Amino acid sequence: MTRLGMPQLAYAGLSETWLLRDCGDRHWLAIAARLGLADPDFRDADGRSAYAAFLGLRLTQARLGAAREHDRLDVQTRLSRPGPARHLSVHDLLIGPQRIARVELLSTFVGRLRPGDNHSVARVSVPADTTGDTTGDATDDAADNGQSDGDTGLPPLAQRVRALRAGVDLDAEGLLAPPATLRFSFTPCPRNDFNGAGFLYFANFAAVLDRAAWDWWHEAPQQTTAVREIAWFGNLNVGETLHVGLLGVHRDGPGAGHACELRAGDGRLLARALTRRRPASASAPEPQP
């Protein structure tokens, strides 16, 4: 149980950045507990550091504006393993009996082929996680490559990762092509935006998307995120610049939602994201089903 104070709160309610960081930490700790580790110190077959890197994120049913100072926040976490090297966590956020958000995270184990170079990140096997594995799993290929295998049994988040990797269907997502080309550039700071493993932290991709939206439209500050979906392709090195490009805007206007892609300065695609906003007047919590 967390008492909400200034570190957990933002201008209009619960801080999305804090929330994602907290759920990311819970995800790593849950994997460590599943593997019988005291700490999330994952190692590949050669004993080198491995990391549970996120392939996809989905924040849904979010009413972040319902959170107030001194509220008690209960985060209920469940972890599953949809395939070899894959872990899916679901985090339900409750204030009293009311659910104010759900966060889903899908990860795979990765390591660097070249020390200190985030361009060299590749999937690795962690022996502690492979006990009992005999064959691959369709979930791995679908999430990594965006290939359709006809398997409707994939977890919903894996399906969304696959869809975003394939591209953004503007019509299906209720979006329109932007009336003008918009781009936002941001050079992440190693003291604020990178984590202890040397990666641009996944939660800060969402923060950069908010910086871009504020720069483009100065969205009403009372608005909060209702839905956020991100699929990742890669990461940056310290000193590189992140470029956000607008792909589409919600039919009700850009302040209601948008789709973006994030690229490195050399053009590498790093992530695609969908965002839906909730006006402050719609921040009341929903009953827990």
Question: pLDDT tens digit string along 135-160?
Answer: 444 444 444 544 433 445 689 999 99
* 79-101: pLDDT as tens digits: 999 988 899 999 999 999 999 99
As a dihedral over the C-alpha atoms of residue 172, residue 176, residue 180, residue 185, rounded to 10 degrees, the angle is: -40
Q: What is the DSSP string of 104-158?
A: EEEEEEEEESSTT-GGGEEE---GGG-TT--S--HHHHHHHH------TTS-HHH
pLDDT at residue 275, rounded to an integer:
97
Tell me phi and psi for residue 84, to 5 degrees: -55, 130
Please give the pLDDT value at position 199.
97
Residue 283 has which token pair? 């921040």
> What is the structure's pLDDT at 229?
98
pLDDT at res. 134: 43
Q: What is the pLDDT along the chain (289 residues), one digit of tens a residue?
A: 999 999 999 999 999 999 999 999 999 999 999 999 999 999 999 999 999 999 999 999 999 999 999 999 999 999 999 988 899 999 999 999 999 999 999 999 999 999 999 999 999 999 989 865 544 444 444 445 444 334 456 899 999 999 999 999 999 999 999 988 999 999 999 999 999 999 999 999 999 999 999 999 998 899 999 999 999 999 999 999 999 999 999 999 888 999 999 999 999 999 999 999 988 665 555 545 4
Closest CA to 225 of 1, 8, 44, 10: 10
Burial of 274: CB neighbours in 10 Å, binned 0-12, 13-18, 19+: buried
Cα separation, 50 vs 125, whole angstroms: 8
Please name the amino acid found at residue 55: L
**What burial class does residue 136 get, using C-beta atoms within 10 Å of its C-beta: 0-12 exposed, 13-18 middle, 19+ buried?**
exposed
pLDDT of residue 179: 87
Report the CATH superfamily, name and number, of domain 2-282: Hotdog Thioesterase (3.10.129.10)
Which backbone phi and psi does 27 adopt, to 5 degrees? -60, -50
Mean pLDDT of the chain: 90
